[in-house]
């Protein structure tokens, strides 16, 4: 086919136009800013310098990165464990209420996440719902310190990101062909084997999509650890925020952002290369 | 009896989603202004809410912005996912990379860089700058969601259609779109959710004359968010719930 | 060819949408949330016929970043804190205010004028002020047990303190405990302050700058740092709270109105500023937002219980111990940030 179809040309024009203008250009600006310096009058100014990147080799920043990675990882794992069975059950439903059930997942999330965080605070605080009930029942005689802990932060993160795991999984699992499962059973496989050998590989694209949509925002979110965790440690989101807003060191903030993007891109690339042997054409 | 574990599991997760919402609604009737402990029943916040026009204007703005942004993002993102899957073209890897950059960028970096970009392009801050920014950060979510579904398609359908002489546009509208629309809808829902709630990016690209709800709420955080906002969220939540449940009950397919 | 056409059409649509809105008789107001009540805005609109577009922000830093990135952001009046007034005037971001156009400026309390962050108030009109001190909840039995910042280091406060989530405010308490200025740029002093804060770490339960009033009322935390205005508000719903002005000194913060350079509606800005300086307006605002007002004429109109309330208006002898925050050099700011990060990650 020597000349491209109209559809292909039109679509590609739209996509390239948008992404070049609003994704590449801003990222380019940020990358350039990361090589610049600053002075009292201007937030970013010449000369070009590598000093921002050199400053990154700092045990505190590495610690912050590791901790953010760890928390985002655990959050993703929990979302996957909770979300997969949920998505599986709903996707395979035959009921006419299926669409309604799917919409019911997402409607709570159209209220401000900040207000829902405050609801969580209301539930978890020393004089909050949980403690009041437990005290009234006589199960405890002093309020439990549920708020301002790592657990409350994790609950908040999972709560806010779970739909981002469920929805991609749902749309993927829906395409699962029953006949493959039946065939496996006919050949004598028990449920575990069927799951391991048939269902899991086929739903892998959905799993990976869900993980991406949860892990990446989890690494840069900052207001949930602040509100529910008491702001006691600095995560990547806070760090970049501080550089841009408080320290007013835009070049350094840009450098951190660029390094973070590159690191994650490399990780994803390594993962992609290592799973290339599989036939599955997932998004990576 | 066999379905009990499944039903209880689903119910637990739904409860997990909805209990904070129920608490939110209950506390919209709380007598206190700053305290988050129950002090008694009061309709005061609903009365204040109905006389606060500014808030309602902001809600309307947010909904309009969300609907436009989600729809356009769904179109662009959907096209992108289809093209990335079906065609190989010059710069394909770059396109993948750009979608990733959009997801990976921390909000504040995207907010400030878009602000600088708009300022260079002389786009005034207001509805249009917000719309462009919202579409931009929603696109990758649509792409990832739609792609995870399109991957499961049977390649031979496309080849068969092409052999029969169908043009790409026809293949798209007659074959791909019908099979893909649940994923497109999921992408739309995710985008709408993101747009309604976005604070940081919106903060930087918003203008003085188009106020949106998340910014209003976020700036109240310093003092303490009044239960008036609870009242607002309760009303919008219940309205949306009623509308969606009704539309589903009326239009549902028989199993 | 078709591809070029598509791109061209899209570009046209795109750039045609960049038309600027028509300029009406408006005022683009940009302040902290919760300080200007709606009824005051409505009164202003009624008296002057100027429509107010009222946007709010949650921190000086985000306001500064936005205006720095786009000087033509279109705001007419902003409300920075003292050290941001300092920074912004030095960087030429603020318009010099012609005080001859503000007939009510004489209402301001001279105590709050002509400070080092803005000599002669060329660029700012003080609007509200406050003090950062120590708050005490109900659990502490001996009310007089805390009189200095240094008391917070005692072992009995282990894992009980709430500190503000602001690096300069937190470092200020260590600097004051060591006898230095809150605006100290000396790296050696900053390091000492950091080490002192490290000793305080086991006592720190949370860092919080938002929702403080809720915490005070609900007694989630019973001792720590707070602003006197917040405590006064909280005390209305929980009378057992107490506020202490530490002997070593404390931060006095002042939020002032300023006009950014390139403000599109400068005349309306002056009208607004003069309106807010009126004694009756300033009094109504102060009664509504519960913060102390630097407007002396307004203060005289306030009820006696508020004027004589030491939490809101400390006596002159006490106020003298306080220090105003000024801007510090970028290198010093960097140093504070580094130590702040270290404190949070290792403390």
Task: Kindly report the CATH number that applies to the domain delimited by C130-252+324-346.
Answer: 3.40.190.10
Q: Of the candidates A10, A40, A234, which has its C-beta nearest C341's C-beta?
A: A234
- The 3-state DSSP class for residue C253 equals strand
What domains can you pick out in chain B, each with its CATH number?
1-42+230-255 (no CATH), 54-224 (1.10.3720.10)
Interface touch A208/B83, C-beta < 8 Å: no
pLDDT along chain A (284 residues), means of 10: 73 91 92 84 76 85 91 96 93 84 89 90 91 90 88 94 91 84 85 84 86 88 86 86 84 89 81 58 48
| Buried-state track B221-232, b at ≥16 Cβ within 10 A, e below 16 | bbbbbbbbbbbb
Q: A254, A247, A263, A250: which is closest to A69 by C-alpha?
A: A263
Q: Show which subunits contact A, needing at least 3 CB pairs below 8 angstroms.
A: B, C
What CATH number does the domain containing A119 carry?
Answer: 1.10.3720.10
Dig out the tokens for C59 from the structure.
Answer: 């921190």
pLDDT tens track, chain C, 347 positions: 455 545 555 554 554 333 334 457 999 999 998 899 989 999 999 999 999 999 888 889 889 988 888 877 789 999 999 999 999 999 999 999 999 999 999 999 999 999 999 999 999 999 999 999 999 987 665 667 889 999 999 998 999 999 999 999 999 999 999 999 999 999 999 999 999 999 999 999 999 988 899 999 988 888 999 999 999 999 998 888 999 999 999 999 999 999 999 899 999 999 999 999 999 999 999 999 999 999 999 999 999 999 999 999 999 999 999 999 999 988 898 899 889 999 998 86
Per residue in A51-92, pLDDT tens?
888 888 888 888 998 999 999 999 999 999 999 999 999 988
* Mean pLDDT score of chain B: 88
CA–CA separation, C55 and C29 (whole Å)? 6
pLDDT at C12: 47
Strand partners, C130: C253
Alpha carbon B151 to chain centroid distance?
Answer: 23
- If phi > 0 it is left, if psi is from -120 to 50 it is alpha, else beta; for residue B45 that is alpha
Q: B33, B57, B196: which is closest to B130 by C-alpha?
A: B196
Residues of chain C that touch chain B, judged by Cβ-Cβ distance less than 8 Å: 17-18, 20-21, 26, 28, 30, 32-34, 38, 53-59, 62, 65-66, 69-70, 72-75, 209-214, 217-218, 233-234, 237-238
Number of independent structural domains in chain A: 1
Assess contact for A86 and A102: CB atoms under 8 A: no
Q: C2, C212, C340: which is closest to B168 by C-alpha?
A: C2
Which residues does chain B have within 8 Å of residue C58's beta carbon, measured at their own beta carbons? 218-219, 221-222
**Which chain C residue has the Cα nearest residue A249?**
C334
Residue-range definition of the domain harbouring residue A261: 58-274
pLDDT at C51: 94
Q: Where are the domains of chain C?
A: 25-129+254-313, 130-252+324-346
Pick out chain B residues at pLDDT < 50: 254
CATH 3.40.190.10 is the classification of domain C25-129+254-313: yes
**Inter-chain CB pairs, B–C, below 8 Å:** 100
Interface touch A245/C91, C-beta < 8 Å: no
Q: Are strands C250-257 and C125-136 parallel, antiparallel or unpaired?
A: antiparallel
Q: Of the candidates B17, B27, B214, which has its C-beta nearest A108's C-beta?
A: B17
- Give the angle C76-C168-B113 at the CA atoms, nearest 5°: 50
Q: Which of B204, B208, B226 to mutate to test the interface with C (most CBs of C within 10 A)?
A: B208
- Give the angle A147-A153-A156 at the CA atoms, nearest 5°: 100
Residue labelled with tokens 């496309």? B158
**Chain B from 127 to 186: CB within 8 A of any A CB:** 132-133, 135-136, 139, 141, 144-145, 147-149, 151-152, 167-169, 171-172, 182-183, 186
Interface touch C218/A41, C-beta < 8 Å: no
pLDDT at B52: 85
Asked if the structure places residue A125 within a domain, the reply is: yes
Query: Which of the 8 DSSP states describes residue B105?
Result: S
Residue labelled with tokens 């493959």? A180
Per residue in B225-248, pLDDT tens?
889 999 999 998 999 899 888 888
Asked if the structure places residue A194 within a domain, the reply is: yes
Residue labelled with tokens 């002057």? C48
Quickly list H helices, chain A: 6-19, 25-34, 51-55, 59-91, 98-106, 113-124, 129-137, 150-173, 178-186, 191-194, 200-220, 223-229, 236-245, 250-274
pLDDT at C262: 87
């Amino acid at each position: 086919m020597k000349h491209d179809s109209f559809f292909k040309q039109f679509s590609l024009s739209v996509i390239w136009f948008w992404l070049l203008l609003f994704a590449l250009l801003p990222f380019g600006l940020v990358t350039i800013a990361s090589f610049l310096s600053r002075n009292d009058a201007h937030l970013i100014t010449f000369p070009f310098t590598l000093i921002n990147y050199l400053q990154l080799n700092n045990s505190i920043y590495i610690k912050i990165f590791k901790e953010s990675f760890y928390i985002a990882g655990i959050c993703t794992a929990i979302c996957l464990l909770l979300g997969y069975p949920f998505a599986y059950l709903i996707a395979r439903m035959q009921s006419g209420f299926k669409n309604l059930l799917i919409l019911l997942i997402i409607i709570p999330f159209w209220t401000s996440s900040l207000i829902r965080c405050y609801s969580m605070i209301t539930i978890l605080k020393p004089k909050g719902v949980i403690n009041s009930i437990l005290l009234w029942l006589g199960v405890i005689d002093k309020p439990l310190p549920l708020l301002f802990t790592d657990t409350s932060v994790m609950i908040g993160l999972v709560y806010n990101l779970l739909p981002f795991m469920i929805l991609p999984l749902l749309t993927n699992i829906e395409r699962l062909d029953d006949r493959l499962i039946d065939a496996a059973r006919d050949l004598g496989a028990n449920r575990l084997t069927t799951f391991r050998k048939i269902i899991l590989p086929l739903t892998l694209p959905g799993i990976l999509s869900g993980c991406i949509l949860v892990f990446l925002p989890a690494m840069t979110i900052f207001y949930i650890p602040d509100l529910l965790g008491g702001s006691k440690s600095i995560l990547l989101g806070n760090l970049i925020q501080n550089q841009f807003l408080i320290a007013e060191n835009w070049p350094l903030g840009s450098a951190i952002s660029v390094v973070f993007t590159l690191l994650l891109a490399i990780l994803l690339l390594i993962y992609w290369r290592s799973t290339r042997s599989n036939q599955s054409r997932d998004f990576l | 009896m066999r379905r009990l574990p499944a039903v209880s599991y689903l119910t637990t997760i739904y409860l997990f989603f909805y209990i904070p919402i129920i608490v939110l609604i209950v506390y919209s009737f709380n007598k206190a202004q700053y305290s988050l402990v129950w002090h008694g029943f009061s309709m005061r916040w609903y009365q204040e809410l109905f006389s606060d026009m500014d808030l309602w204007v902001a809600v309307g703005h947010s909904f309009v912005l969300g609907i436009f942004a989600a729809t356009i993002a769904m179109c662009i993102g959907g096209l992108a996912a289809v093209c990335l899957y079906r065609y190989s073209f010059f710069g394909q890897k770059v396109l993948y990379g750009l979608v990733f950059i959009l997801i990976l960028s921390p909000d504040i970096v995207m907010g400030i860089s878009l602000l600088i970009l708009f300022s260079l392009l002389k786009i005034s801050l207001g509805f249009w700058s917000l719309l462009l920014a919202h579409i931009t950060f929603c696109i990758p979510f649509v792409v990832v969601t739609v792609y995870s579904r399109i991957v499961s398609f049977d390649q031979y359908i496309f080849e068969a259609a092409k052999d029969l002489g169908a043009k790409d546009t026809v293949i798209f509208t007659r074959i791909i779109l019908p099979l893909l629309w649940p994923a497109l809808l999921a992408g739309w829902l995710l985008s709408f959710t993101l747009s309604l709630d976005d604070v940081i990016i919106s903060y930087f690209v918003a203008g003085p004359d188009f106020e949106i709800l998340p910014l209003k709420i976020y700036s109240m955080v310093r003092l303490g968010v009044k239960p008036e906002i609870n009242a607002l969220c309760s009303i919008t939540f219940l309205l949306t719930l009623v509308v969606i449940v009704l539309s589903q009950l009326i239009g549902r397919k028989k199993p | 060819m078709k591809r070029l056409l598509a791109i061209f059409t899209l570009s046209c649509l795109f750039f045609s949408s960049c038309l600027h809105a028509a300029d009406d008789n408006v005022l683009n107001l940009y302040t902290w949330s919760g300080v200007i009540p709606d009824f005051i805005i409505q009164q202003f609109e009624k008296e002057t016929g100027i429509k107010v577009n009222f946007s709010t922000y949650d921190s000086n830093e985000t306001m500064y970043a936005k205006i720095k990135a786009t000087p033509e952001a279109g705001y007419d009046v902003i409300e920075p804190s003292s050290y941001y007034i300092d920074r912004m005037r030095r960087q030429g971001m603020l318009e010099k205010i012609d005080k001859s156009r503000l007939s009510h400026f004489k209402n301001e309390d001279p105590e709050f004028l002509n400070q080092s962050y803005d000599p002669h108030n060329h660029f700012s009109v003080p609007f509200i002020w406050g003090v950062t001190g120590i708050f005490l909840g109900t659990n502490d039995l001996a009310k007089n047990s805390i009189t200095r910042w240094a008391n917070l280091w005692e072992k009995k406060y282990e894992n009980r303190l709430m500190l503000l989530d602001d690096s300069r405010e937190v470092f200020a308490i260590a600097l004051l405990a060591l006898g230095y200025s809150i605006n100290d740029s000396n790296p050696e002093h900053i390091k000492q302050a950091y080490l002192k804060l490290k000793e305080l770490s086991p006592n720190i339960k949370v860092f919080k700058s938002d929702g403080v009033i809720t915490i005070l009322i609900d007694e989630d935390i019973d001792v720590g740092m707070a602003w006197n205005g917040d405590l006064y508000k909280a005390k209305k719903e929980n009378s057992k709270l107490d506020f202490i002005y530490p002997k070593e000194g404390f931060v006095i913060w002042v939020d002032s109105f300023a006009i950014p350079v390139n403000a599109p509606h400068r005349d309306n800005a002056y009208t607004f500023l003069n309106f807010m300086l009126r004694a009756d307006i300033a009094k109504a605002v102060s009664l509504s937002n519960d913060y102390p007002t630097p407007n002396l004429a307004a203060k005289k109109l306030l009820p006696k219980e508020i004027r004589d309330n030491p939490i809101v208006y400390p006596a002159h002898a006490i106020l003298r111990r306080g220090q105003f925050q000024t801007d510090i050099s970028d290198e010093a700011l960097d140093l504070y940030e580094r130590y702040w990060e270290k404190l949070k990650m290792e403390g």
